Structure 1
Amino acid sequence: MKIAKAFRWEMGHRLPEHFGLCKNIHGHSYKMIVEFEGELNKDQMVIDYYDVEKIINPIINQLDHAFMVNTNDKIVLDFLEKMNSKKVVVDFDATAENICKFLLSEISKSNLPENINSVKVRVYETQFDYAEDTLQLK
């Protein structure tokens, strides 16, 4: 059985080595659909939506209205620090694929119920483009 919930946030980034417009500082209205798969628990649920929010909302709050910057992007990192801007410093370029992996990694740090077999994350960078990955727990 599967359940899913959608979350939205605004975030800036850039891809400094990109050949096109994405090398520029810009942002997106991101959407994530997180899906939990597993057996029904004693309450006849895979996981309560309230518990999903307790897991996901702190992650989204960290990202919302922040700039995701690679630790190697010293120019933008220095700028963000001088501006005292909200930032999420990571060791990767903020592609949709890497953001998807980042979100799965953050979710995996939470205390997920034992009945959960897998977590799937789909990250929309625009309304037309997304990356998706699954974390198998069992």
Structure 2
Amino acid sequence: MGRWGGFAVKVRVMDVYFEAAHYTGFSDEYNYLHGHTYKIDVEYEAELGGGDYLMDFEAINSVVQGVARRWNYKLLVPEGDVGRIEIRAPFKVEIKPVRGRYATAEVICRQLLEEVRGGIGRSDGRLSLTVWEGPRYAAQCSE
């Protein structure tokens, strides 16, 4: 198990933010268009190799920041609803399709995790991501 006897090491990038609006659609009570200042925390865990170095903080931060920029100021819409959305207003609207029946924190978390995983270009470790919708509510997923 390597020189650390199977001990895993974690690196974290925390407090990466983006603004987005969504609606959940699974009940009339919550089916209002509303927005959040989303916060992303990412953790990468793997066994420390012989180089005593797991991953550059700036490299993983750059990936997470890039993902957040692609979600910033977007209207998060389930893929199945994209063709049904029509907005006419004196402001810009960019739709970000989410791959789920609803644009819930859980679905958003999973898609963010997939985008971060693709950006870091490594599959040897365990990646976890938490997306916060506010100071008290979050969804976390890992692979």
TM-score w.r.t. length of structure 1: 0.82
Q: Gaps (5+ residues) in structure 2?
A: 1-8
Q: Gaps (5+ residues) in structure 1?
A: none
Alpha-carbon distance between aligned partners in 1 of 2:104 and 2:91, rounded to the nearest angstrom: 24
Alpha-carbon distance between aligned partners in 2 of 1:58 and 1:80, rounded to the nearest angstrom: 29
Q: Which residue pairs with 1:23 in the alignment?
A: 31
Q: Which residue identity is paired with 1:102? A: Q
Deviations 1:54-102 (A, max 9, x none): 3212211111111111133258622279964122012321111111111
Alpha-carbon distance between aligned partners in 1 of 2:83 and 2:105, rounded to the nearest angstrom: 22
Which residue, out of 84, 96, 102, partners 2:105? 96
Which residue, out of 39, 45, 52, partners 1:44? 52
Q: Which residue pairs with 1:71 in the alignment?
A: 79
1:71, 1:77 within 8 Å by CA — same for their partners in 2?
no
Alpha-carbon distance between aligned partners in 2 of 1:80 and 1:133, rounded to the nearest angstrom: 35
- Greater Rg over alpha carbons, structure: 2
- Residue 105 in 1 paired to residue 114 in 2? yes
What is the deviation of 1:17? Answer: 3.1
Q: Which residue identity is paired with 2:19? A: E
SS of 2:85's equivalent? helix
Q: Which residue pairs with 1:3 in the alignment?
A: 11
SS of 1:78's equivalent? coil
Q: Which residue identity is paired with 2:87? A: F
Alpha-carbon distance between aligned partners in 2 of 1:5 and 1:129, rounded to the nearest angstrom: 19
What is the deviation of 1:104? Answer: 1.3
Q: Which residue pairs with 1:121 in the alignment?
A: 129
Q: Which residue identity is paired with 1:36? A: Y
SS of 1:110's equivalent? helix
Q: Which residue pairs with 2:141 in the alignment?
A: 133
TM-score w.r.t. length of structure 2: 0.80
Q: Which residue identity is paired with 2:138? A: Y
How many residues end up aligned between the 2 structures?
A: 133
